[in-house]
Amino acid sequence: MTSMLLGGVLLLFLAAMVTGLWVGVLGHRKAGRDGAWWTMLVALILISIGILVPTLAGWLLFESFSNSRTGGGSPSLGAPLLGILGVLSYTFLPLGLILFSIGFALNGLKAGRIHARMKELEQVSDAMGEEISRLNSTPPRA
């Protein structure tokens, strides 16, 4: 009972975390769908699958044991499927986290370049404003 409660709390925590990541990535698509965005989107799909697969495997295992106790079925029927789901779970979640980190880093580098370009343009704008006011303050040549 305690492990089921702990698993439910963990699942709830992971679902809340992934929901926040989904909202952020989907909101970020308005800024442009570049390579960083697509990388983070694929990563979130993998992370979501990596979280849902153990939940599905646990449910299948529970159903398998329930059927073997009540209906006389064999609990080993779902063993190959549970093995495949376990491998997928242990593969997709870390791969998704690595891909999301790469996409986030690419997004940060892009934001840094944009910020540097904004500063350059502000300096050029300030210099042009000073030049225009200097030209306006000098008397015209006759």
CA 45 to chain centre: 8
pLDDT(59) > 80: no
Contact 25, 41 (CB under 8 A): yes
Indicate the pTM of the whole model: 0.68
73 band by pLDDT with thresholds 50, 70 and 90: low
Instruction: Provide the pLDDT for residue 15.
Output: 84
Condensed to tens digits (0 to 9), the pLDDT of residues 15-49 reads 888 889 899 888 888 877 888 889 999 999 999 88
Instruction: Provide the pLDDT for residue 88.
Output: 76
Q: Which of 22-31, 61-70, 83-92 has the lowest mean pLDDT?
A: 61-70
Q: What is the CA radius of gyration of the chain?
A: 28
Question: What mean pLDDT do residues 98-110 have?
Answer: 91
Contact 61, 140 (CB under 8 A): no
Sketch the domain layout of the chain as residue ranges: 2-133
pLDDT(94) > 70: yes
Question: What mean pLDDT do residues 57-71 have?
Answer: 67
Which amino acid is it at 134? R
77 band by pLDDT with thresholds 50, 70 and 90: low
CA-closest candidate to residue 102, choices 15, 16, 44: 44
